[in-house]
Amino acid sequence: MAIRGKGKGTGSLAGFMSGSLFKILSAVFAAVLWIILATGSRYLLMRIDQLSLFSSTEPFFQNAIDHIGGLLGYAGCFLTQFLYKPVIGSLIAAVLWYSTIILSRKAFKLDGGWEYLAFIPASALVAADMEIGYTMFDLKLRGWFFIPALGYLASLLAFQIYTRIENWKAAIFYTAAWTIVFFPVIGFYALLGTVAMAIASIRLDKEYGAVRTVCGLAAAAIVPPVWSQFYVTVKTSLSYFAILPDFPPYGKFLPMWIPYLVLFLFTVTAAALIPSAGIPAKRKPIGIPARLSIFAACIVFVWTFWYRDVNMPAEMMMEQALEDRDWKQIARIQSDMAHRHDASDARVFAARSAKLSGVTGSERDYVVEKFADKFYAPSRHMVLYRNLALLRMGNACSTAFTYKDGGRIQKMPDLYPLMFQCGKQLYFNYGLLNYCYRWCMEQSVEYGFSVETLKYLIRSSLLSGNWNVAEKYIRQLESTLFHRKWATGQRKYLNNMELIAGSDEYRDIFPLICKSDRLDSDNGSIELFLQRYFKTDRTPDASPEFDDVALLWIMQTQDITSFWAQLINWINTHPSAKIPRHCQEAAILYGNLENNPIISSLPFDDEVTKSYEAFRQYASTHPVRNPAEMSYSYSRKFGNTFYYYYYFIRNLKTY
């Protein structure tokens, strides 16, 4: 069967493959992405919205247009707020990606099977968004999720109009006008359009093509540094890259530039090979296998760059649960994650055991180290949130160590501090309002104000009694589309500390609000600071809730002396309460380690006494030469005890 052009309306299989299948696949491509994002990535999208802000205030707009490409960023921020409703936000993204396919095909006149190449820029745009992962905490480009698609569509549209201009003088004028007018509006993407116009001119205009090319390339070279003279927010040499993401173009970040490189190369190549107007396409049509191969390659490309980290989805869900104050959900998320990996951990253990058979000494340690990362472990982020949730549920000191613990490093090019991921949330919930406020402000300075920082600025200002500035932040959030209702709801707390103290959302914080004062610095490490704070800053009038929290934090430090001191404090503030299970475990363990006579006077549950005895027995018959090697088997028997935590959860990296 011969394949001619688009094969419109032939009714044949070839015609279907040429025309309808492409349209179907384009729609399916977008629809599948929409469904995946709206369902499987909904919490990620909501998180992206939390880290962004679109405000209808004049200073917000002014700040946008003070930057080259700022209007594109403004539009990007506007659309980002729809990610708060994942179904809508992902639909917008899918529509933009679909439009890219259609417009790429039209603009570069791709047909005869070559239209499948139009999936390349769309795939690059999807990859550019979905590769970001944890880097979203380090991106200063506001509106990054929608900027590439919007910018590319604008440049495609401009290019398509250019291809219809026959008069060479008009074409040159158009190119120059496009570059001059749109460079300050959409930055790099305007230059992309200009370069495409310049390169396509050779084929579009046999007589004056070279002139048009030179003028176009000159415009791309000259306009940015000229425009940069009118801006005080850009270095001239960097003006060419305006509105591109700010991750560095070297080291571990280099692969993140690949989608942009693909986008650029596709555009330039397609422009260079564009069929001349009025002359049929000389390129040979490609067959169905080739078309489907192109499509498949694009899918593989998207899949390759689609960010995956075992814990990130759980962290995103926990973040939403924290916002909803759904403590049970936070605990359940971590518990589910651990259970989900039980089978895979068992397989890893079996595989490792096979490798360890007959191996001794340092070689054995080497095998153990190689398999270490294959076992599932939660991230510190998850553990911190889980412990907070359990404290709120009132049973942390009985249940915290029944959960899997660990410190799996989040997969990211650079270690991105936990402080910016969850610092303000933790500080706020642990009553350190100054520190919460400070990190909201630092994060806002570094990355711009966001929904999340504004929420915590409001919360910490309200609980600090700083009504005027709380009201300022409330007003900021009221200028947003989807968060104004929440912000307006906070107004009732202004000038009413009594209402705040009695409210469901804030009453838990009050007993923990820091009463002592001194100057200090957390050196950017939230976990180490909180450990130190709960160890050293207890005041004589500490609340029972403070002692609960402090006891858990001190147990995590495995500091025996501090544990005894805090246990006594806890007993004094909980006169009629039973010592929680994990505290009994710690006491019996430490007491035996130190031969401390105090344990003879402590009321241990039978269950605890038995479990400790069982642990001792097991330890005597299963000596631990390398804790990493024995950790799994011990966890199967004692993973729900403090004894296991003490011996096997050590040297965790926090950052």
Partner 1 sequence: MRKVLFTILAVLLVSCTGQIPSRFSQETSKPDITPDYRDIIYPSNMAPANFRIDNEGSRFVTIFTAGSRKTILKGRVTDMPLRKWRKLQAEGGTVNVEIFVRNGKDWNRYQPFTITLAEPIDQYMAYRMIPPLDEYYEEIFINQRDLTTFKESTVYSNAMVHNGSIGQCINCHHFRNYSTDNMQFHARQYKGGTVMIFNGDLRIVNLKTDSTLSAGVYPAWHPTHDYIAYSTNITKQAMHLSDPNRVEVRDLASDLILYDINDNSVSIIENDSCQFECFPAWSPDGLTLFYVSAAVEEDYNKETPRIMKTDFKAFHYDLYAKPFNPETREWGPSRKIFDAAAINRSATMPRVSPDGRYLMFSMGEYGVFHIWHRDADLYLMDLFTGQVREMNEVNSDDVESYHSWSSNGRWIVFSSRRDDGAFTRLYLSHFDTDGKFSKPFALPLRKPEYVENLMKSYNIPEFITEPVKVSPRRFARFISRNTAESVSYAPKKELPTTP
Which residues form the interface with partner 1 (CB under 8 A)? Answer: 55, 57-60, 140, 229, 232-236, 246, 248, 432-435, 437-438, 441-442, 444-446, 449, 461, 464, 466, 468-469, 471-472, 475-476, 479, 513-522, 533, 537
Q: How far is the CB of 67 from partner 1 (least distance, A)?
A: 9
Closest to partner 1 by CB, 313 or 524: 524
Closest to partner 1 by CB, 68 or 192: 68
Which run of H or E residues covers position 606? helix 606-621
- DSSP output for 323-370: HTT-HHHHHHHHHHHHHHTHHHHHHHHHHHHHHHTT--HHHHHHHHHH
Residue that is written with structure tokens 């190549």 in the block: 269
Closest to partner 1 by CB, 343 or 519: 519
Q: How far is the CB of 140 from partner 1 (least distance, A)?
A: 8
Asked if residues 648 and 621 have their Cβ atoms less than 8 Å apart, the reply is: no
Closest to partner 1 by CB, 12 or 237: 237
Q: How far is the CB of 435 from partner 1 (least distance, A)?
A: 6
Which has the closest alpha carbon to 638: 582, 591, 559, 578? 582
Q: How far is the CB of 474 from partner 1 (least distance, A)?
A: 11
Tokens describing residue 179 = 């570059």
Q: How far is the CB of 472 from partner 1 (least distance, A)?
A: 5
**Pairwise CA distance, residues 178 & 254, whole Å:** 30
- CB-based contacts of 506, cutoff 8 Å, min separation 6: 459, 462, 463, 493, 500
Q: How far is the CB of 476 from partner 1 (least distance, A)?
A: 7
Closest to partner 1 by CB, 274 or 530: 530
**Pairwise CA distance, residues 440 & 459, whole Å:** 11
Closest to partner 1 by CB, 130 or 242: 242
Tokens describing residue 460 = 């910490």
Q: How far is the CB of 404 from partner 1 (least distance, A)?
A: 32
Closest to partner 1 by CB, 203 or 438: 438
Exposure b/e, 258-289, CB count within 10 A at least 16 = b:
bbbebbbebbbebbebbbbeeeebeeebbeee
Name the DSSP letter for residue 423: I
Exposure b/e, 622-653, CB count within 10 A at least 16 = b:
eeeeeeebbbbebbeebbbbbbbbbbbbeeee
Q: How far is the CB of 58 from partner 1 (least distance, A)?
A: 6
Residue that is written with structure tokens 């430090």 in the block: 557
Give the Å distances, CA to CA, from 99 to 22, 71, 118, 352. Answer: 13, 20, 10, 49
Closest to partner 1 by CB, 53 or 390: 53
Closest to partner 1 by CB, 398 or 466: 466
Closest to partner 1 by CB, 246 or 607: 246
Q: How far is the CB of 64 from partner 1 (least distance, A)?
A: 13
Q: In angstroms, what is the C-alpha Rg of the chain? A: 30
Closest to partner 1 by CB, 471 or 508: 471
Asked if residues 457 and 440 have their Cβ atoms less than 8 Å apart, the reply is: yes
Q: How far is the CB of 635 from partner 1 (least distance, A)?
A: 37
Q: How far is the CB of 420 from partner 1 (least distance, A)?
A: 10
Asked if residues 224 and 190 have their Cβ atoms less than 8 Å apart, the reply is: no
- DSSP output for 192-215: HHHHHHHHHHHHH-TTTHHHHHHH
**Dihedral sign (CA 579, 585, 586, 591):** positive
Q: How far is the CB of 57 from partner 1 (least distance, A)?
A: 4
Residue 527 burial (10 A CB sphere; 0-12, 13-18, 19+): buried
Closest to partner 1 by CB, 511 or 627: 511
- CB-based contacts of 145, cutoff 8 Å, min separation 6: 48, 52, 76, 79, 80, 83, 93, 129
Tokens describing residue 345 = 């951990």
Closest to partner 1 by CB, 232 or 354: 232
Q: Is 6 left (phi over 0), alpha (psi -120 to 50) or beta?
A: alpha
Q: How far is the CB of 453 from partner 1 (least distance, A)?
A: 10
Asked if residues 236 and 83 have their Cβ atoms less than 8 Å apart, the reply is: no
Asked if residues 529 and 430 have their Cβ atoms less than 8 Å apart, the reply is: no
Q: How far is the CB of 463 from partner 1 (least distance, A)?
A: 11
Closest to partner 1 by CB, 245 or 407: 245
Closest to partner 1 by CB, 59 or 623: 59
CA-angle at 170, arms to 164 and 175, nearest 5°: 80
Name the DSSP letter for residue 504: T
Residue that is written with structure tokens 């404090």 in the block: 569
